[in-house]
Amino acid sequence: MATKGRGASNEEHRKLALVIGIGEYENFDQLSNPENDARDMESALESIGFTVTMVLHLKRVEMKHALVKFEDSIQPGDMVLFYFAGHGTQWEDQNYLLPKDIPDAQSVNLNRSAINAQDVLNTLDDRNPFVTIFLLDCCRKYYLRNPKLDERGDPHSSDSSPADFKPMHKAGSLIAFACAPGTGAIENRGQRNGLFTKHLLQHIKTPNEDIQMILRVVRRGVVEESKSKQIPFLSDGLLETNICLYSRPTERAYNGYTVKVCDFGVARTRNETTRQTKSNNTLAITLQWTAPEILRLGRYTDKSDIYSLGIVYWELATYQIPYDGHEDGVIRAFVLAGDRLDIPDTTPSIFRMVIEQCWTQNPNDRPDGCHLIQMIEECIQVE
């Protein structure tokens, strides 16, 4: 099946990344993972075409300087990625990234001693990038100084309600936190990388995959490995679709289309007796390609795939989308009544016959795989 992304091609944009790792804190617990996290993230991003600025163990002044320098390098239309590994916190309804020289966070004004993550996002957005992606591998525990918020109890508790906190957001951005609001990221002691970054590195180089899908896979991996003790949190403000960090041409990609293998049967088991469960019986189907026996009885056989193939052949003959613009109910009634799409008069007669036999109403009247191969070979010989 050929699909075409509706967003602009990612390869039309420069790809810039700022990667920061801070583990050698002067007044906080030392962290063993961030330096490895930053180095490995730099390597991964460079391998998929990013120009990466990587810096380690920065004091606040140095961190501000690195941010300004990076911001100045951004041009309108760039794909921008910001990655941070280190200590983080939430304070006075904002998210803060902690530099190396931060004093005790409970005794200072973090606006003067740390980096407000929302401010960074806002400044990057002022450069009019194509998209901004934030990957923050840090804690989000609450350090509350607002008296109104302090009334809720222990400021260190991960059970504090986040109702009065402002979530990070910006149109055109995608933000991924290593953990949920008010909670901590697990320090992956004994391993090279933090848990969130470990799973990011496993998937971030996947070619031709939407970054939102990658982050969902990463979230599932973190949740499973931590036994639900750490749950990554996503904030999606993207305005474009199909945002791929790494776009790689496939053997059958042309004019913006990419051929993808799909399963019209949605990977159901062949032997129905092997899944006698009480699960939801609602069918997951691709309606335009779905055989009438599935719509009527939920009965799926190999001949149902032959029907779907007939619709694909119709697409090849017409260069059109089947039932384009019609409501689902209309399509369902049309197919169940035995009606079919119009085959153009210009279609070779033998190929017309293949299409008509593939989508006959009675599954038993459709050719099997071997017969269909013979019919296609005849079409080729005629051509």
> Which CATH number fits the domain that encloses residue 162?
3.40.50.1460
Inside any domain, residue 279:
yes
- Using the predicted structure, report yes or no on whether residue 319 has a pLDDT greater than 70: yes
**232 lies in the same domain as 95:** yes
Q: How far apart are the first and last CA of the chain?
A: 23
Residue-averaged pLDDT of the chain: 83
Classify burial at 205, counting beta carbons within 10 Å of its beta carbon; exposed 0-12, middle 13-18, buried 19 or more. middle
Q: Do residues 31 and 178 share a domain? A: yes
Handedness of CA 33, 34, 36, 37 (dihedral sign): positive
Residue 250 within any structural domain of the chain: no
Given a cut of 50, is residue 162 above it in pLDDT?
no
Instruction: Verify that 150 and 292 share a domain, yes or no.
Output: no
Question: Is 274 a residue whose pLDDT tops 50?
Answer: no
Residues 216 and 101 occupy one common structural domain: yes
Residue 299 — very low, low, confident or very high, per pLDDT cuts 50/70/90? confident
| Alpha carbons 73 and 294: distance in angstroms, whole number | 56
CA distance 117 to 165: 14
Q: 353, exposed or middle or buried, with CB in 10 Å at 0-12, 13-18, 19+?
A: middle
Distance between CA atoms of 190 and 105, rounded to whole angstroms? 27
> Is 374 in the same domain as 297?
yes
Instruction: Determine which of 153-167, 180-194, 212-226, 313-327 has the lowest per-residue pLDDT on average.
Output: 153-167
Same domain as 186, residue 52: yes
The reported pLDDT for the residue numbered 372 is 86
Q: For residue 285, what pLDDT is reported? A: 65
CB count, 10 Å around CB of 348?
12
Distance CA 199, CA 192 (A): 12
Q: Per-residue confidence at 7, pLDDT binned at 50, 70, 90?
A: very low
pLDDT higher than threshold 50 for residue 233: yes
Name which residue leads in pLDDT, 157 or 337: 337
Asked, for residue 123, whether it belongs to a domain, the answer is yes
Domain that holds residue 338: 262-382
Give the residue-averaged pLDDT of 127-132. Answer: 96
Same domain, 219 and 278: no
What pLDDT was estimated at residue 273? 45
143 in the same domain as 206: yes
Whether residue 200 is contained in a domain is answered as: yes
One domain, residues 97 and 214: yes
198 found inside a domain: yes
Instruction: Reduce the secondary structure of 295-311 to three states and give it as a string.
Output: HHHCCCCHHHHHHHHHH
CATH code, domain carrying 305: 1.10.510.10
Q: Which of 236, 251, 277 is the last residue of a domain?
A: 236
| CA dist., res. 200 & res. 177, Å (int) | 12
Q: What does the pLDDT read at residue 258? A: 53
Residues facing residue 375 across a β-bridge = none
Tokens at residue 154, please? 């222990």
Residues facing residue 54 across a β-bridge: 19
145-172: average pLDDT: 52
pLDDT at 251 over 80: no
CB 160 within 8 A of CB 154: yes
- 256 found inside a domain: no
Give 375's pLDDT tier (boundaries 50, 70, 90). confident
> Residue 10: its pLDDT value, please?
59
94: left (phi over 0), alpha (psi -120 to 50) or beta: beta
Query: Are both 159 and 273 inside the same structural domain?
Result: no
Mean pLDDT on 63-75: 98
Domain count, the chain: 2
Amino acid 155: pLDDT:
40
Q: Does the predicted TM-score (pTM) go above 0.85?
A: no
Q: Which helix (H) or strand (E) holds 52?
A: strand 51-56
Residue-level pLDDT at 297:
86
Q: Look at strands 115-116 and 94-97 and give their pairing.
A: antiparallel
Residue closest to 49 by CA, chosen among 207, 200, 168, 172: 207
Instruction: Tell me: do 33 and 176 sit in the same domain.
Output: yes
Among candidate residues 201, 236, 271, the one where a domain is terminated: 236
Model confidence band, residue 280 (pLDDT cutoffs 50, 70, 90): very low
Same domain, 178 and 223: yes
Give me the pLDDT at residue 54, please.
Answer: 98
- pLDDT of 8 strictly over 60: no
Tell me whether residue 88 is in a domain: yes
**Is residue 254, in this structure, part of any structural domain at all?**
no
Q: Is residue 281 over pLDDT 70?
A: no
Q: Which of residues 195, 219, 236 is at a domain's end?
A: 236
pLDDT band at residue 167 using 50, 70 and 90 as cut-offs: low
User: Phi and psi of 161, rounded to 5°?
Assistant: -70, 135
Average pLDDT over residues 53-81: 98
